[in-house]
Amino acid sequence: MTAPVLAFDGVRAYYDDALILDGLSFEVAEGESFALLGPNGVGKTTSLNAMFGIAHLRGGSITVDGAPLRGRRPHEAARRGAALVPQGRWILPTLTVEENLVVGTAPRRRGPWDLASVYRTFPDLKERRDSLGTQLSGGQQQMLAIGRALMSNPRVLLLDEPSEGLAPVVIDLLGDCLADLKAAGTSMLLIEQRLDLVTRLADRYAVLLKGETVAEGRVEDTSDEALRDLVGV
């Protein structure tokens, strides 16, 4: 059996002495889109922070492409193939669009993504490649953050609230982009409040409350109303 591209097994994660994740378990299979859902403050972003050493992993295990992360240095998740599209985008303000993209390049990892393929996917970025990243619109900055993550040719793309702060028409364009990436076989972990985007993109989901999984299932087997009830929106 092929190992999942990302697996959490009984993860307990802390900020200092505060327990945030209490036994979180889920897997993202090759080519799958998996959504972590729940109200604000239940530990969704902490799951990503535990991968990158920001939250402290004190129980359980996290593996990327079969390799365990526990005890490794913070950059190890990225080296293993996890690429983060962070909440807030984190565009480097003194760099151009193209320089921001090049920052995402992972040495020695081969794959389909380079400047040419990113520019084909996001033509606006090609037109603005010599502009500072912070001179872009919010939607363009989100495309830049996704393009920068793709430049690493990731095994799994981690998306933390990608629709935050964007106008509905821009969210529709973002959904088109992510749907195309999914159709191309990109594995994704999606943290998102907009359930219309979740139902469009995700194959499976888990709902968190107080750092624990309280519900999980396949999106196609769960009605929109039931999903709203589970998430509490």
pLDDT greater than 70 at residue 191: yes
Specify the pLDDT at position 40: 86
- Does 12 fall in a domain? yes
Of all residues in the chain, what percent carry a pLDDT higher than 90? 73
Burial of 27 (0-12, 13-18, 19+ CB in 10 A): middle
- Does 176 fall in a domain? no
Token pair for 202: 């995700």
- Does 169 fall in a domain? no
pLDDT greater than 60 at residue 78: yes
Closest CA to 150 of 97, 203, 81: 81
103-132 per-position pLDDT tens digit: 988 766 788 999 999 999 999 999 999 999
What lies within 8 Å, CB to CB, of 37 at 6+ separation is 44, 192, 195, 198, 205, 206, 207, 208, 227, 230, 231
- Does 51 fall in a domain? yes
34-60 per-position pLDDT tens digit: 999 998 889 999 999 999 989 999 999
Q: Give the residue numbers spanning the domain of 75.
A: 1-80+193-233
Q: Which CATH number is 26's domain given?
A: 3.40.50.300
The whole-angstrom distance between residue 42's C-alpha and the CA centroid of its chain comes to 17
Residue type, position 8, single letter? F
Specify the pLDDT at position 150: 95
- Does 178 fall in a domain? no
Closest CA to 47 of 205, 179, 208, 197: 208
Q: How many CA atoms lie within 13 A of 3 on its CB side?
A: 13
DSSP string of 9-35, one letter each residue: EEEEEEETTEEEEEEEEEEE-TT-EEE
pLDDT greater than 80 at residue 2: no
Buried b (16+ CB within 10 A) or exposed e, 165-181: ebeeebbeebbebbeeb
User: In total, how many domains does the chain have?
Assistant: 1
Specify the pLDDT at position 72: 63
Closest CA to 76 of 87, 68, 88, 66: 68
- Does 85 fall in a domain? no
